[in-house]
Amino acid sequence: MVSSPASSGAPATVWVVAGAPGVGKSTVAQALLVAVRPPPALLDKDTLFADLAGEVLAAHGRPSGEREGPWYDEHVKRHEYTALARAAREIRGSGCPVLLVAPFTEQIRAPDRWRQWVDRLGGQPVVLVWVGCDPGTLHARLIGRGRSRDSGKLDDFDAFARRTRPDTPPPVRHHAVWTSVGAEPVGSQVVRIGTSA
Helix (H/G/I), strand (E/B), else coil: 164: helix
> CB within 8 A of 77, min separation 6: which ones?
none
Concatenating the DSSP letter of every residue in 93-137 gives HTT--EEEES--HHHHSSHHHHHHHHHHTTSS-EEEEEEE--HHH
In the chain, the amino acid numbered 188 is: S
pLDDT at 3 over 90: no
Domain count, the chain: 1
In the chain, the amino acid numbered 38 is: P
Helix and strand counts by DSSP (H, E) for the chain:
10, 7
Dihedral over Cα of 154, 155, 160, 161: its sign: positive
- Name the residue range of residue 137's domain: 2-193
Express as a percent the part of the chain with pLDDT over 70.
Answer: 93
Q: Domain of 152: which CATH number?
A: 3.40.50.300
Per-residue pLDDT reduced to its tens digit, 105-150: 999 999 999 999 999 999 999 999 999 999 999 999 999 988 888 8
